Amino acid sequence: MVYQETFIAMDTTIMMTVVSDAAERTIDRSVRRAARCFYQIEQVCSRFDTDSELMRASRRTGVPVRVSPILYHAMKFAVEAAAETGGALDPTIGRKMELRGFRRNYLSGKPVCSAFAENAGVTFRDLVLNDEKMEMTLKKPMVLDLNAVAKGLAVDQAAKILRNAGFLHFMINAGGDIYAAGQNERHESWTIGIRDPLDPEKLAGTVRLSDAAICTSGHYERPSPVMPGESHLLDPRSGRSPGMIVSCSVIAPFAMLADAFSTAALVMGPETGIEKLEYMCLDGLMIGCTSRRLFTKNFKEHTLWNEQRQASSAGAGIVTARKQGKGGRQQRVRRSSR
């Protein structure tokens, strides 16, 4: 049977789908245990809660601060990703994000303001990590930000819990950060649609995944409430939103890797971004503002990429679209009008 449950955490919806013959109660228990990862990581890593461990650590400059293993390893990963991408991803951009208007707690609507932190000139190089003691030292006043890592990490942890509980076939979708394990109820690899960033009603195409994660970063969903034309995606080096690429999807064995590098590659831009993904042995797809598509060299082969062209029907109802490629089989797409 197919079991499905939806949660809200980290300002997004988290849908867990499990394909299993186990008793519903057994599945329910494991799914809800897996869902806890999102709340635990949110409590530790939230930039929108002054009492989170991340924010408490942010307020301590110039001294080594011992942090919990979860915060330490998440930060370690973020700093390594920052070094790998020349700062295209940077866990010290918290204050910049606050000033761009991304500072409201999604539940209470109340803003956070870390006036103690510097805005300009802070980079991941001002954050020193000590593996042995699990300590972080902030060399300048800064606000840490793990928003490009935390959700992916939670997806991976939740997947691990489900797998340890004996489930082989499941999917976790945290607002588009997806981990797909095993097969769907039709005993096929999971089919994941990648939304067309230029027309959210359409898919750019589909990929087939099994035991892999896919994450998409795009700067079309969350515009800055205070800076026209800017979004939640920020090039930490220029202080601006990246322009040429509007969405980047990355497939990886871990959601945290896909999450971090989809953001980083989008910031790095088309050529450098694709190069970096290939260097990292990750498959990725970038879609530019003119609908130009850039793939890593093995993307189509590895994912059985299926480009979709749908008739753009303004009305509701059934739209029939012909799939590209071999077989040319007809596909039914159900649509609803707004």
Binding letters toward another protein, positions 89-108, x by CB under 8 A: ---------------xxxxx
Q: Is 140 in the site for another protein (CB under 8 A)?
A: no
Q: Is 170 in the site for another protein (CB under 8 A)?
A: no
Give the number of residues in contact with another protein, rule: CB under 8 A: 119
Among 173, 182, 241, 276, the residue binding another protein under the rule CB under 8 A is 173
Q: Is 44 in the site for another protein (CB under 8 A)?
A: yes
Closest contact distance (angstroms) between CB of 67 and another protein is: 5
Closest contact distance (angstroms) between CB of 289 and another protein is: 14
Q: Is 15 in the site for another protein (CB under 8 A)?
A: yes
Closest contact distance (angstroms) between CB of 21 and another protein is: 19
- Provide DSSP, 20-64: -SS-HHHHHHHHHHHHHHHHHHHHHH-SS-TTSHHHHHHT-BSSE
Closest contact distance (angstroms) between CB of 188 and another protein is: 9
What's phi and psi for 182, nearest 5 deg?
Answer: 65, -130
Secondary structure class of 232 (helix, strand, coil): coil
d(CA 301, CA 286): 16
Closest contact distance (angstroms) between CB of 153 and another protein is: 6
**In DSSP terms, which residues pair with 64 in a beta bridge?**
137
Q: Is 146 in the site for another protein (CB under 8 A)?
A: no
Nearer to another protein, 96 or 151 (CB): 151
Among 52, 85, 92, 241, the residue binding another protein under the rule CB under 8 A is 52
Nearer to another protein, 23 or 298 (CB): 298
Asked whether 181 and 253 are in contact (CB, 8 A), the reply is no
Asked whether 223 and 230 are in contact (CB, 8 A), the reply is yes
**In DSSP terms, which residues pair with 247 in a beta bridge?**
218, 287
Q: Which two tokens stand for residue 129?
A: 């990590």
Q: Which residues contact 108 (CB under 8 A, 6 or more apart)?
A: none
Q: Is 296 exposed, middle or buried (0-12, 13-18, 19+ CB in 10 A)?
A: buried
Nearer to another protein, 87 or 215 (CB): 215
Q: Is 82 in the site for another protein (CB under 8 A)?
A: no
Asked whether 299 and 309 are in contact (CB, 8 A), the reply is no
Residues in region 202-241 near another protein by CB under 8 A: 202-203, 206, 211-212, 214-222
Nearer to another protein, 23 or 83 (CB): 83
What's phi and psi for 319, nearest 5 deg?
Answer: -115, 130
Residues in region 283-302 near another protein by CB under 8 A: 283, 298, 302
Secondary structure class of 262 (helix, strand, coil): helix
Nearer to another protein, 125 or 221 (CB): 221
Nearer to another protein, 194 or 269 (CB): 194
d(CA 147, CA 45): 8
d(CA 154, CA 58): 21
Q: Is 11 in the site for another protein (CB under 8 A)?
A: yes
Among 97, 144, 153, 268, the residue binding another protein under the rule CB under 8 A is 153
